[in-house]
Amino acid sequence: MSREALHHVTGLKGKMAATGEEAAAMDSISRVPPAHPTVLSLGGSSEPRGEPGEPAADGQVVPAAPKKPTSSSDGGVETAEEAVEPDINELCTDMFDKMAIFLQGELTGTCEDYRLLENMNKLTSLKYMEMKDISINISRNLQDLNHKYASLQPYLDQINQIEEQVSSLEQAAYKLDTYSKKLEAKFKKLEKR
């Protein structure tokens, strides 16, 4: 396919040259005065001409127009390709690097959320460890207190007994007091008789 394309291109060269020469001729007629014989001799040898009757100034001008697209197309395309390949590699590398950076950034957001939660959990676990230590101390102290309370229990029971006895003694004293008052009143009555 590439060879056919090249043949097609070379076949087009002549046509382009002719048409280009015609266009350039028209332009030159409109702009430049009739050509001099010196210009004719200079412009004649280099390029193939479809119409030798045209002014030679056109011949100098003509080759410039079609050269651009097709004159060095074979070598130009190859050189262009050779020049483009390393750029494509660099561009691909650049593209994949940037894609990797973008994907890394997309995933970094979620990673940071996990890190935040991890830090919060670590701090909370430290808090709970402190609370655990405090509660262990409290439980130890309360156990000691219970043991000491158990050792004091008989004394506390004695105190309760003493209190009960004192209260019963108090009531007995009240009863005795009222009885003695009654007895005193009776004695006085009897004395009066």
Task: Closer to another protein by CB, 129 or 173: give it.
Answer: 129
Task: Closer to another protein by CB, 89 or 141: give it.
Answer: 141
Task: Closer to another protein by CB, 12 or 42: give it.
Answer: 12
Residue numbers at the binding site for another protein (CB under 8 A): 5, 8-9, 12, 16, 19, 69-70, 73, 95, 99, 102-103, 106-107, 109-110, 113-114, 116-117, 120-121, 124, 127-128, 130-131, 134-135, 137-138, 141-142, 144-145, 148-149, 152, 155
Is residue 50 within 8 A of residue 21, CB to CB? The reply is: yes
- Measured between alpha carbons, how far is 177 from 85 in angstroms, rounded to an integer? 128
**Within 10 A of 118 (CB to CB), how many other CB atoms are there?**
10
For residue 68, the minimal CB distance to another protein (Å) is 10
For residue 70, the minimal CB distance to another protein (Å) is 6
